[in-house]
Amino acid sequence: MAGTRQTAIQAILVGYLALLVVAIVTGNPLANVAVNLGFAVVALYFGYTVYEDERPDIDPRVRLVTATAFVLAGIAQFVAVATQAAEADIASSALFVVGFIGYIVLRRA
């Protein structure tokens, strides 16, 4: 199961990075929307994988905060795409950073 999860994470990240390169190179507005939606999916998937990680050596509070930050980042990104609200876009980025910091803390444990 861990190998399958690792492969899925790698595939999602490679797909997201490919979309990002296409959006940067072409400047296509549809590609930019796809990148933003891809970011939302990546954030939600990270939230799910962190939440499902029930190793006994990690603090469940840090795990829950990290997973919640990633999920909220994904939701905020979907709101940003749907409404074009800059506040939602900023909130998504900030929440992703919180989740990323939590992820680093969890991996060091």
Provide DSSP, 39-67. Answer: HHHHHHHHHHHHHH---TTS-HHHHHHHH
For range 14-18, the mean pLDDT: 86
Note the maximum CA span of the chain: 46
Alpha-carbon 40 to chain mean position: 6
- Quick check: 43 and 92 in contact, CB under 8 A? yes
| Cβ(68)–Cβ(47) below 8 Å | yes
Taking only the tens place, the pLDDT of each residue in 50-88 is: 999 888 888 899 999 999 999 999 999 999 999 999 999
Per-residue model confidence (pLDDT) at position 1 = 47
Listed in sequence order, the residues at least 6 apart from 65 whose beta carbon sits closer than 8 Å to its beta carbon are 98, 102
Alpha carbon distance 51, 71 (integer Å): 10
Domain boundaries, the chain: 2-108
For the residues 1-16, what does the mean pLDDT come to? 75
